[in-house]
Amino acid sequence: MKYISLILVAITLINCSSEPKETPYDPATDTLKYEQEVHFRNVQQLTFGANNAEAYWGFDDSKIIFQSDNPEWGADCDQIYYMDANANKPGFEPKMISTGMGRTTCSFFLPGDTTFVYGSTHLSDKACPAVPERGPNGAYVWPIYEGYDIFKANLEGEIIANLTPNSPGYDAEATLSPDGTQIVFTSTRSGDLELYIMNTDGSDVRQITDELGYDGGAFFSPDGKQLIFRASRPKTDEEVAKYKSLLSQGLVEPTDMELFIVNVDGTDMKQITHLGNANWAPYFHPSGEKIVFSSNHKSERGFPFNIFMINKDGSGLEQITFDNAFDSFPMFSYDGKKIVFASNRFNGGDRSTNVFIADWVD
Helical spans, DSSP H, in the chain: 2-18, 237-248
Distance of alpha carbon 2 from alpha carbon 12, whole angstroms: 16
Instruction: Please state, rounded to an integer, the average pLDDT across all residues of the chain.
Output: 92
CA distances (Å), origin 145, targets 4, 120, 186, 217: 75, 9, 12, 16
Distance of alpha carbon 80 from alpha carbon 116, whole angstroms: 10
Q: Could you tell me which of 192, 197, 256, 202 has the C-alpha nearest to residue 227?
A: 197
3-state secondary structure of 358: strand
In this predicted model, what pLDDT tens digit does every residue of 97-130 receive, in sequence order?
999 999 999 999 999 999 999 999 999 999 999 9
pLDDT at site 136: 67
pLDDT at site 5: 44
Query: What residues have CB less than 8 Å from 339, skipping those under 6 apart?
Result: 40, 292, 330, 331, 332, 333, 357, 358, 360
pLDDT at site 12: 40
Q: State which amino acid sits at residue 128.
A: C
pLDDT at site 20: 52
Q: What is the pTM of this model?
A: 0.91
Query: What residues have CB less than 8 Å from 4, skipping those under 6 apart?
Result: none
Structural domain contains residue 169 = yes
Instruction: Kindly give the pairing relationship between strand 279-284 and strand 258-263.
Output: unpaired
Instruction: Kindly give the pairing relationship between strand 290-295 and strand 306-311.
Output: antiparallel
pLDDT at site 21: 62
Domain with 59, as residue range(s), is 52-294
Query: What residues have CB less than 8 Å from 130, skipping those under 6 apart?
Result: none
Check whether the bond before 304 is cis (ω within 30° of 0): yes
Distance of alpha carbon 79 from alpha carbon 17, whole angstroms: 50
In this predicted model, what pLDDT tens digit does every residue of 127-171 receive, in sequence order?
999 998 876 677 889 999 999 999 999 999 999 999 999 888 999
1 pLDDT exceeds 60? no
Q: Could you tell me which of 216, 219, 221, 227 has the C-alpha nearest to residue 266?
A: 227
Q: Mean pLDDT over residues 247-256, rounded?
A: 94
CB atoms < 10 A from the CB of 267, how many? 8
* Number of domains within the chain: 1
Q: Mean pLDDT over residues 192-203, rounded?
A: 98
Structural domain contains residue 321 = no
13 pLDDT exceeds 60? no
In this predicted model, what pLDDT tens digit does every residue of 23-70 receive, in sequence order?
787 888 899 999 999 999 999 999 999 999 999 999 999 999 999 999
In this predicted model, what pLDDT tens digit does every residue of 235-246 receive, in sequence order?
999 999 999 999
pLDDT at site 181: 97
Q: Is 91 left (phi over 0), alpha (psi -120 to 50) or beta?
A: left
Q: Mean pLDDT over residues 326-345, rounded?
A: 97
CATH at 128: 2.120.10.30
6 pLDDT exceeds 70? no
Structural domain contains residue 38 = no
- Judged on CB neighbours under 10 Å (0-12, 13-18, 19+), 192 is middle
Structural domain contains residue 333 = no
CA distances (Å), origin 171, targets 2, 36, 154, 161, 245: 73, 39, 20, 14, 20
Structural domain contains residue 187 = yes
Structural domain contains residue 46 = no
Structural domain contains residue 57 = yes
Structural domain contains residue 234 = yes
Percent of the chain past pLDDT 90, that is, above it, reads 85
